[in-house]
Structure 1
Amino acid sequence: MLISTVGTVPADNHRSPALCATAVLARRPAVVAQPMLDRPGSDADRTGFEIGWDHAHHRLVPPADHLHAGNPVRQGWEAGQAVFGTRTLQATPQVRKWLQLRLGAWLRGKAFEPVGVTPAFLKRIAVPVCPITGGLLTQGTGTGSDASVDRVNNRAGYAVGNLAVMSTHANRAKSEYDWEDAVGFARQIERGGLGEIDGLTAHQWSRLAVLMSFCTPLPHAQAAALPLLVLPPARLRVLNPAQVLQILLTLRFMQPGQPARADRLAALFPPALRTPVLMLMVSLLSRRISAGTGARPAAVQRAMEAAWAEPAILRRWQAVAAALTSAQCERIVERLVAHRLAPSGWRCLPLDQATEGWALETAGRAASSGEGLDLATDQRSVPAVASPSALPTPVRSGIRMRGAATAAGVAWLR
């Protein structure tokens, strides 16, 4: 089950001829016109060539480490300069981040989905506050508060639904860990009184663990036990049905206007669970009321996320979720949508489409790559990737919310 914030990413002019050809020709290997140089001999070389080409298309110079003779990035850059000259496109902040992401993914041999992940997409997922630390994000200051874009599930590629914006500080701490590692760090801090690990507190590691779990297919029992310490950022895909249901129940108290009556929501659950659901909803409602009637959306979101840190609310949710199966969670989400009790604009999408480009079968590695390029031989270095909201939609295995993945099925997208 997935929740996905959908919407079509508007067409833009930032794709190289090769990338456009890839989109049109059903992902057949793209070939760029190269008036001055031999064509790249491998998929990895072709990718590097396209990155250089797009630097030239936006009148940008690739990092110096990629300008030595024979480097595919330099070859593409020189070919692009010969074609575009001064007839170039504007290099917006999103374009620079897009090129940084692509270059970093190429250097490390990671899959990058070029059709969906564009400068326009990066602009859409921008957020003002780090979902992990809660601090305001900055741009270009060279400090840990600068915004950065990274994969949520490190065992998947750079693709729509698996990317989120967070602070550089949180991103560095996240490194290549998975959600279970983050849980372990939080527990280690709590048990040992360490204060922090890699600059994050136990609560921040817990928020990171929940965020990463959205994009990780989990057994129902595991997904159902997690608190909703952070809501999915824009256009993230949530793959676990229990978390989709948890998110939808919480969003009922974050929509404009009067929230739906709790008994209407409870009526969609099996009879034996209606009273426990009512108790859960009343608890959530009280936290929403405590935030104040005139509270801004960001303050309401903080209040609802904080509510899930309360043991009583988590126990009530776990009692409900443990009595349901993954399939039952999907059906309840479908009923919420059918009864217009979910945010508008959600639709169902097959799970394989929701995770298209994620490269789950290769743990996020580019299909034709090894574990990455030989940086010692090629003298290349990985650049720092920095970058700058609508809430997500669901996907299912059964359901897709922007952010999660399950075995096979369909996804809800907004």
Structure 2
Amino acid sequence: MTPAYLKKIDCAMCPITLIAMTHAALAESDWSVDRINNDGAYAPGNLMVMCVKANRAKGAKDFRAVVELASVSAQGAVLGLSKREWARLACVMAGAANMTGARPLLPLLTRLPEDSRAPLYFVFQQMLLSSARLARERNRVMKVLCRLHPSSERTALFRCAVERLAVNIRDAAYPYDALSDEGVQRAMTSWFTTVPAASVPGLLQLCSEYGAGRCEPAPPAAWTLEASGRF
């Protein structure tokens, strides 16, 4: 880890609490650097900047524990963070989690850390969020996506969801809140989970136009997950 790399992943606002981060103020708003996956190494792609408050709440918890805290029925703060803040942390940790089987399809509720990993469904949502603001860009993306799916019914519902997303973005205090709409998510997941395997390369190509990197099937070996980050 070099100062240049830390500068690369630094950000002004905590992606978990959405507060403006301070530096060396000895406050919960101070910035801090932590591993995304606590069982991984202090290695590129497994580090993020968040405020001290979020870092303390995260502690040694794994992805499944954070998802559970985001879904509890209790109102108000739970172990220092609100349910929405735990849900944002779950989004950040999803791509680095070392899991077997299918990952849950979660709404993308916050900006993902620079240089971090993300499930394809998050990349898909980020692309839609970035393109939905302008009608011309939104229509261009939808034309491509409509060609990738054989079901005209699912595609029509998906198109309506993206139009609804565009309206939500205008009203949202934080753009990613627009993706929490249950109606939008139902149509998106229905389209995404039934897209043919042969269409996935086309989807990846479209996502790459909006900043997606290469596709990798598993966390990097350099993270040494089986050894809790120890080389």
Aligned position for 1:228: 108
Q: Is the 8 A contact 1:129 1:136 kept in 2?
A: yes
* Counterpart among 74, 77, 80 of residue 192 in structure 1: 74
Q: How many residues align?
A: 228
Aligned position for 1:154: 38
Tell me the secondary structure at the aligned position of residue 64 of structure 2: helix
* Counterpart among 214, 223, 227 of residue 358 in structure 1: 223
Aligned position for 1:402: none
User: Residue type matched to 1:311 in 2?
Assistant: E
Using the size of structure 1 for normalisation, the TM-score is: 0.50
Q: Is the 8 A contact 1:159 1:357 kept in 2?
A: yes
1:178-209: CA deviation from partner (whole Å, max 9, x where unpaired): 12111212333xx233x212211111111111
- 2:74 and 2:186 map into 1 onto residues whose CA distance is 25
* Counterpart among 281, 285, 309 of residue 166 in structure 2: 285
1:367-409: CA deviation from partner (whole Å, max 9, x where unpaired): 3xxxxxxxxxxxxxxxxxxxxxxxxxxxxxxxxxxxxxxxxxx
- Where do 5+ consecutive residues of structure 2 fail to align? none
User: Residue type matched to 2:137 in 1?
Assistant: P
Aligned position for 1:130: 14
- 2:62 and 2:51 map into 1 onto residues whose CA distance is 17
In the alignment, is residue 173 of structure 1 matched against residue 57 of structure 2?
Answer: yes
Larger relative helix fraction: 2
Q: Which runs of structure 2 are paired with 1:5-404 in the superposition (5 Å)?
A: 117-188=1-72, 191-193=73-75, 195-218=76-99, 221-223=102-104, 225-238=105-118, 240-253=119-132, 258-261=136-139, 262-272=141-151, 273-290=154-171, 302-303=174-175, 305-324=176-195, 327=197, 330-336=200-206, 342-343=209-210, 348=214, 355-364=220-229, 366-367=230-231
Q: Please say which of residues 227-236 and 146-155 is displaced more in the overlay.
A: 227-236
Kindly tell me: are residues 198 and 290 of structure 1, through their superposed partners in 2, closer, same or farther at Cα, counting changes over 3 Å?
Answer: closer
- 2:10 and 2:167 map into 1 onto residues whose CA distance is 31
User: Residue type matched to 2:65 in 1?
Assistant: D
User: Residue type matched to 1:204 in 2?
Assistant: E
Using the size of structure 2 for normalisation, the TM-score is: 0.85
User: Residue type matched to 2:180 in 1?
Assistant: A
- 1:241 and 1:251 map into 2 onto residues whose CA distance is 15
Aligned position for 1:52: none
Q: CA deviation at 1:176?
A: 0.6
Kindly tell me: are residues 205 and 140 of structure 1, through their superposed partners in 2, closer, same or farther at Cα, counting changes over 3 Å?
Answer: same
- 1:330 and 1:281 map into 2 onto residues whose CA distance is 19
State the structure with bigger RCO (CA 8 A, min sep 6), 1 or 2.
1
- Aligned CA-pair RMSD: 2.7
- Identical positions, percent: 28
Q: Please say which of residues 355-364 and 201-210 is displaced more in the overlay.
A: 355-364
Q: Is the 8 A contact 2:37 2:96 kept in 1?
A: yes
- 1:150 and 1:330 map into 2 onto residues whose CA distance is 33
Please identify the structure whose Cα radius of gyration is greater: 1
1:8-32: CA deviation from partner (whole Å, max 9, x where unpaired): xxxxxxxxxxxxxxxxxxxxxxxxx
Q: Please say which of residues 328-337 and 120-129 is displaced more in the overlay.
A: 328-337
Q: CA deviation at 1:356?
A: 4.9
- 1:234 and 1:270 map into 2 onto residues whose CA distance is 31
- 2:116 and 2:126 map into 1 onto residues whose CA distance is 13
Q: CA deviation at 1:254?
A: 6.2
Kindly tell me: are residues 342 and 196 of structure 1, through their superposed partners in 2, closer, same or farther at Cα, counting changes over 3 Å?
Answer: same
Q: CA deviation at 1:268?
A: 3.9
- 1:175 and 1:184 map into 2 onto residues whose CA distance is 15
Q: Is the 8 A contact 1:149 1:163 kept in 2?
A: yes
- 2:36 and 2:216 map into 1 onto residues whose CA distance is 21
